[in-house]
Amino acid sequence: MSGVEWADVGERVRVARLAAGLTQEDLGGRAALDRTMIVKIESGSRRIDAIELVRLSSALQVPVDFLLRSTPLVLSRRASVMTEDTNTEAARESGRLDLALVAWLHDVQQMVELGVLQPVPLLMAEGLVDSEAAARNLALWVRGQLGAGNEPINSLVEFCERAGQYVLVTDVPGEGSSVVDGNVAVAVVSLAGDPGRRRATAAHELGHLVVGDEYSSDLGVHASRGEREALLDAFAAELLLPAQVLADAGGGAQHMTRDQLIGFAARYRTSWSLAVRQATHAGVLRGQARHDGGWSAPTRSEFLEALGWAPQPDLEAIRVPPHFADAVMAAWRNSALTATRAVELMHGQITEADMPTSAEADVQP
Domain-located, residue 57: yes
Look at residues 189, 233, 188 and name the one whose alpha carbon lies nearest to residue 211: 233
**Which residues sit opposite 190 in a β-bridge?**
170
Whole-angstrom Cα distance, residue 111 to residue 109? 5
**Which of residues 78 and 164 earns the better pLDDT score?**
164
> Which of 193, 216, 240 delimits the end of a domain?
240
Highest mean pLDDT among 67-81, 167-181, 197-211, 295-309: 197-211
User: Is 219 in the same domain as 147?
Assistant: yes
pLDDT band at residue 240 under the 50/70/90 scheme: very high
User: Is 284 in the same domain as 228?
Assistant: no
**Cα angle 235, 241, 244; round to 5:** 95
> Looking at the 3D structure of the chain, how many domains does it have?
3
Domain-located, residue 64: yes
pLDDT tens digit sequence for 222-233: 456 677 888 999
Tell if the pTM clears 0.85, that is, is over it.
Answer: no
Instruction: Report DSSP state, residue 352.
Output: G
Q: What pLDDT is attached to residue 133? A: 93
Domain-located, residue 288: yes
User: Is 211 in the same domain as 263?
Assistant: no
User: Is 143 in the same domain as 222?
Assistant: yes
Q: What pLDDT is attached to residue 245? A: 95
Domain-located, residue 152: yes
Beta 165-170 vs 184-190: how paired, if at all? parallel
pLDDT tens digit sequence for 87-128: 566 666 667 788 888 889 989 999 999 999 999 999 988 877
Give 201: exposed, middle or buried? Use CB within 10 Å, 0-12, 13-18, 19+: buried
pLDDT band at residue 79 under the 50/70/90 scheme: very low
User: Is 257 in the same domain as 175?
Assistant: no
Element (H, E) at 128: none
User: What proportion of the chain, given as a percentage, has pLDDT over 70?
Assistant: 82
> Which of 265, 283, 298 delimits the end of a domain?
298
Look at residues 164, 179, 152, 168 and name the one whose alpha carbon lies nearest to residue 202: 168
Domain-located, residue 127: no
Single-letter residue type at 53:
L
pLDDT tens digit sequence for 328-342: 999 999 999 999 889
Whole-angstrom Cα distance, residue 257 to residue 46? 67
**Segments forming the whole domain that contains residue 155:** 132-240
User: Is 235 in the same domain as 248?
Assistant: no
Whole-angstrom Cα distance, residue 87 to residue 158? 36
Domain-located, residue 278: yes
- CB 210 within 8 Å of CB 142: yes
Domain-located, residue 309: no
